Amino acid sequence: MKIETKAVHWGDRRKSGSFIPVTTPIYTAASYAYESMDQLDRVFGLEESGPSYARYDNPTRSALEELVRELESGAGAIACASGMIAIHTALLAALMDRPKHVVAANMMYGATTGLLMNVLGPMGVETTHVDVCDLKAVEAALTESKVGAMIMETISNPLLRVGAMDKIAAMCRAAGVPLIVDNTFATPLLVRPLELGANMVCHSATKYLAGHGDVLGGVIVADQANYDALRTLSRTIGPVMGPFESYLTLRGIKTLALRVERQCANACNVASWLATHPRVERTFFPGDPRHPDAESIARLFPPNRFGGLVAFELREAGRPEVFRFMEKLQMVVRATSLGDVHTMILYPAMASHRDLSPKHRERLGIRDNLVRVSIGIEAPEDIVADLDQALSA
Ligand SMILES: *Cc1c(COP(=O)(O)O)cnc(C)c1O
């Protein structure tokens, strides 16, 4: 079955007593009783599947987990309260019985870098930052010292670079290092990291999976070798998503394939229009044939789908000019987050990469004239028209 079909059918329509609900209800119960003590015993012992306590299992959450597990080709999934707690839990699970040393992509979501530096660092976890587009550097980082886990993003933030994930996965495997991939920007519609050899996949479900700007959530999907440890850890610390958010995410994913298809098509349109605009200095888009990672993109992505994110630099602009441009936008929403049905714009120097020094940003190539747009499902003409009127100063 194709992934578009699975997105609509998986997880739902479990028998409940004498009937089958067409969509999974929101189960709010914190605990679950069984008629026989033997059955409760089997449920507690994980010999029979079923809920007993909401930190362990919740039927609404389980339906979502089953769906995302299937979309990402994993052995099991845990739906979490946020993308960040999903990443934190995946790292904890990987590092539990391994060396406390992480190799991390040098250009990641700001809070992920913060988690490594400001939370795990003081607890004794060392991090080596590498450019995942430099395979020699990755190889060196993985072999020069004892490493417990590697983490990277399918598409980097905000410059939209794409590392050779298949080759990196092979290097990790050879070094015996589990690879965790944050697949938030790509979604399983574009890239399925576990099929390429990664061991755990994380999502901020807040973004494309839920897709409507009304959920904070995350998901971890693990391969067989890592799922049991992950589930045991999750049952202990309870990073889990609540039933209401699980319901909204489950509902959102039914249209994920349609949304992503439209967002990708719109993004191609907007990116090629921006590339010729006199006020735009440079565009960053994985569909650009001159993209520095074009080879990896051609190998890893489906034809003509490059995600819904586009970044660009305004010509001869600094912070005041960027502010003026953003304030002139009438329809495009000026807010953090991405992957929603509406087009959104973010100024990385002020938002996602605010906490980095100007020098550090410069080193990463994030200039003060860079903005990042998350393209929505609107009519492409309307997105272009709004950007156009705001660009014509
Ligand atoms: C938003 C985001 C996160 C964090 O997710 P939250 O749901 O905000 O906790 C992590 N990684 C990426 C790539 C993101 O875009």
352 has pLDDT over 90: no
Name which residue sits closest to atom 6 of ligand 1, judged by CA. 83
Tokens standing for residue 4: 């578009």
Measure 113 CA to ligand 1 centroid, in angstroms. Answer: 11
Q: Is 305 in the pocket of ligand 1 (CB under 6 A)?
A: no
Name which residue sits closest to atom 4 of ligand 1, judged by CA. 83
Sheet holding 370-374, edge to edge: 280-284, 309-314, 370-374, 344-346, 333-334
pLDDT confidence of residue 364: 86
Q: Is 207 in the pocket of ligand 1 (CB under 6 A)?
A: yes
Name which residue sits closest to atom 7 of ligand 1, judged by CA. 83
Half-sphere exposure of residue 57, counting CA atoms within 13 Å on the CB side? 16
Q: Across the chain, what does the average pLDDT equal?
A: 96
Q: Is 206 in the pocket of ligand 1 (CB under 6 A)?
A: yes
Measure 83 CA to ligand 1 centroid, in angstroms. Answer: 5
pLDDT confidence of residue 393: 65
Amino acid code (one letter) for 363? R
Quick one: DSSP state of residue 262?
H
Torsions phi, psi of 303, nearest 5?
Answer: -60, 135
Tens digits of residue pLDDT in 160-169: 999 999 999 9
Nearest ligand 1 atom to alpha carbon 185: 13
Q: What is the pTM of this model?
A: 0.96
pLDDT confidence of residue 17: 82
pLDDT confidence of residue 354: 83
Nearest Cα to 213, choosing from 381, 380, 337?
A: 337
What are the catalytic residues? Answer: 55, 109, 182, 207
Q: Is 219 in the pocket of ligand 1 (CB under 6 A)?
A: no
Q: Is 157 in the pocket of ligand 1 (CB under 6 A)?
A: yes
Measure 241 CA to ligand 1 centroid, in angstroms. Answer: 15
Q: How many Å apart are CA 71 and CA 243, to the nearest integer?
A: 20
pLDDT confidence of residue 353: 83
Measure 316 CA to ligand 1 centroid, in angstroms. Answer: 31
Q: Is 218 in the pocket of ligand 1 (CB under 6 A)?
A: yes
pLDDT confidence of residue 125: 98
Are 152 and 165 in contact by the 8 Å Cβ rule? The answer is yes
Alpha helix segments (H runs only) across the chain:
3-9, 37-44, 59-71, 83-95, 110-114, 135-144, 165-175, 187-190, 224-237, 243-253, 256-275, 294-300, 319-328, 358-364, 380-391
Tens digits of residue pLDDT in 274-303: 999 999 999 999 999 999 999 999 999 999
Tens digits of residue pLDDT in 209-243: 999 999 999 999 999 999 999 999 999 999 999 99
**Dihedral Cα 137, 139, 140, 145, nearest 10 deg:** 130
320 has pLDDT over 70: yes
Nearest ligand 1 atom to alpha carbon 86: 9
Name which residue sits closest to atom 1 of ligand 1, judged by CA. 204
Tokens standing for residue 134: 């430099």
Tens digits of residue pLDDT in 366-387: 999 999 999 999 999 999 999 9
Q: Is 153 in the pocket of ligand 1 (CB under 6 A)?
A: yes
Tens digits of residue pLDDT in 14-62: 888 889 999 999 999 999 999 999 999 999 998 998 999 999 999 999 9
Nearest Cα to 373, choosing from 314, 294, 318?
A: 314
Helix (H, G, I), strand (E, B) or coil at 22: coil
**160 dihedral zone (left: phi>0; alpha: psi -120 to 50; beta):** left
Q: How many Å apart are CA 239 and CA 115, to the nearest integer?
A: 15
**Burial of residue 353, with CB atoms counted within 10 A of its CB: 0-12 exposed, 13-18 middle, 19 or more buried:** buried
Torsions phi, psi of 149, nearest 5?
Answer: -165, 155
pLDDT confidence of residue 363: 86
Tens digits of residue pLDDT in 24-35: 999 999 999 999
182 band by pLDDT with thresholds 50, 70 and 90: very high
**Burial of residue 301, with CB atoms counted within 10 A of its CB: 0-12 exposed, 13-18 middle, 19 or more buried:** buried
Q: Which of the listed residues 109, 116, 191, 353 should we mutate to test ligand 1's pocket, taking the one with most ligand atoms within 8 A of CB?
A: 109
Alpha helix segments (H runs only) across 96-130:
110-114
pLDDT confidence of residue 127: 98
Q: Which of the listed residues 185, 206, 248, 372 should we mutate to test ligand 1's pocket, taking the one with most ligand atoms within 8 A of CB?
A: 206
Tens digits of residue pLDDT in 61-87: 999 999 999 999 999 999 999 999 999
Name the residue with tokens 């189960």: 27
Q: Is 340 in the pocket of ligand 1 (CB under 6 A)?
A: no
Domains and CATH numbers, the chain: 3-253 (3.40.640.10), 257-392 (3.90.1150.10)
351 band by pLDDT with thresholds 50, 70 and 90: confident
